[in-house]
Amino acid sequence: MTLPKAIHELEFSHGAMYGPEEEAALLEVLHASAPSCGPKVKEFEERFAAYCGCPYGLAVTSATAGLELAMIGVGAGPGDEVITTPISWISTANAAAARGASLVFADVDPRTLNLDPGDVARKITPRTKAILLVHLFGQPCDMDPLRELAAPRGIRIVEDCAHAPGAEYQGRKTGTLGDIGVFSFHQQKNMTTLGEGGLVTTSDRALYERMLSYRSLCCRTYDPKGKYLPLDAARFPMGRRYWYLDFDDVGYNFRMTDAQAAVGLVQLAKLDGFNARRRELAAEYSRRLCGIPGLTLPYVSPDVKHVFHSYCVQVRDKESFMWAMYTEKRIKVWSHYMPIHLTTAYRNRGHRDGECPVAEEAFRHYVSLPIHPRLTAEAVDYLLTSVRDLA
């Protein structure tokens, strides 16, 4: 077996790709004393929100933090139910659990592995506060039926867009398809801000203000005459010559730094290019892997623009395939993700096998192949040949 030079690129799906533009942006911030939430953060929030097509953006330390802010935004707490998907990174469900809400896992569509609106409909109760959906692997959910379920009942929709910046449903970008969108800029995501980072989008001024406040400890500034200043002034209190601080509730420090935001601005400008490369790679994978018995390729809905955070295939015997890929080909593939209701954390909260049979069956078969813009032609060739050999 001859391994390609760039074999390390196949070992894990690590998409971060930085160039001289990020380097220059970082140095500029460094020379400006690299503040926390400063002017670069504000600019990044505005540009990212405009990119998605909505008025408000709120940069945060991670999507895990952003999802919790979103749950605060919609007011999910003890006594409420939040319907979510079992197939996601555990942060999605944790956001609701952390606020004391009960998780209700709805099953997925077997083709896309996104939330199945039919099962969501069955799981709605008078206590349902929000539907917390995930645009899994970069493919937006089937939004129309979900919105038809949510809107008349006053149920809020929160989109976990961690896999899907720049993805579209019927021509509209993720982050604008529900009440709140949450993005991740962790190093493995489609764009990155120095290893960690996130951003929350909304078109609702009241939701924005609530999340803005909790991002920064619910801190409020008021002038010496006791007049409260607008919340936006609380973002940059150092610009005021004199102020007092008060705190409206128990909040968090989820602020992004200017260094992350400066890199985020550069990455945002490159995002469409990164996504185009992912889509090109996915098309090549699908072309070269089609027709293999027992290997099911990703289904892409005609309603969406898929940005292929992951390229997820289904194989008959997942364990042997993953093991052979590793031992015989030195390629580590991952199974994204263990259904959340079957993790120890959620079994300990009362969840059980059989809650989501479609997701549980799919988990026996799904495997994500490495896909990211840094892959060389040689590495891609080696990957696809290896999959053909072993699938």
Ligand X SMILES: *Cc1c(COP(=O)(O)O)cnc(C)c1O
Is the CB of 88 or the CB of 216 nearer to ligand X? 88
Contact pattern from residue 7 through residue 46 relative to ligand X, giving x for each residue in contact according to CB under 6 A and a dash for the rest: ----------------------------------------
Is the CB of 48 or the CB of 382 nearer to ligand X? 48
Least distance between ligand X and beta carbon 152 (Å)? 28
Is the CB of 157 or the CB of 295 nearer to ligand X? 157
DSSP secondary structure code for residue 255 in this structure: B
Least distance between ligand X and beta carbon 95 (Å)? 8
User: For residue 186, which of 218, 166, 161 has the smallest C-alpha distance?
Assistant: 161
90's CB contacts (< 8 A; 6+ apart) are 337, 340, 343, 345
The interface with ligand X within residues 261-300 (CB under 6 A) comprises none
User: Which helix (H) or strand (E) segment is 169 a member of?
Assistant: strand 168-169
295's CB contacts (< 8 A; 6+ apart) are 289, 313, 314, 315, 387, 391
Cα-Cα end-to-end distance for the chain: 17
The interface with ligand X within residues 213-252 (CB under 6 A) comprises none
User: Exactly one of 40, 186, 220, 365 binds ligand X (CB under 6 A); which one?
Assistant: 186
Least distance between ligand X and beta carbon 188 (Å)? 7
Contact pattern from residue 136 through residue 175 relative to ligand X, giving x for each residue in contact according to CB under 6 A and a dash for the rest: ------------------------x-xx------------
- Computed on alpha carbons and rounded to an integer, the radius of gyration of the chain in Å comes to 22
Least distance between ligand X and beta carbon 351 (Å)? 18
Number of residues forming the site for ligand X (CB under 6 A): 14
For residue 326, whether the previous peptide bond is cis, meaning omega lies within 30 degrees of 0, is no
Between the CA atoms of 333, 337, 342 and 343, what dihedral angle is there, to the nearest 10 degrees? 80
Is the CB of 115 or the CB of 234 nearer to ligand X? 115
The interface with ligand X within residues 53-92 (CB under 6 A) comprises 62-64, 88-89, 91-92
Least distance between ligand X and beta carbon 246 (Å)? 30
Residue 129 contacts residue 80 (beta carbons within 8 Å): yes
Is the CB of 25 or the CB of 134 nearer to ligand X? 134
Least distance between ligand X and beta carbon 62 (Å)? 3
What is the CA 239 to chain-centroid distance, rounded?
A: 33
CA atoms within 13 A on the CB side of 177: 32
Give SS3 for 25: helix
CA–CA distance, 278 with 281 (Å, rounded to integer): 5
Contact pattern from residue 104 through residue 143 relative to ligand X, giving x for each residue in contact according to CB under 6 A and a dash for the rest: ------------------------------x---------
Is the CB of 194 or the CB of 391 nearer to ligand X? 194
Is the CB of 289 or the CB of 371 nearer to ligand X? 371
Is the CB of 185 or the CB of 285 nearer to ligand X? 185
User: For residue 133, which of 172, 191, 200, 180 has the smallest C-alpha distance?
Assistant: 180
Is the CB of 183 or the CB of 382 nearer to ligand X? 183
Least distance between ligand X and beta carbon 327 (Å)? 27
Phi-psi region of 79 (alpha: psi -120 to 50; beta: other; left: phi over 0): left
- In the complex, which residues of this chain contact ligand X (CB under 6 A)? 62-64, 88-89, 91-92, 134, 160, 162-163, 184, 186, 198
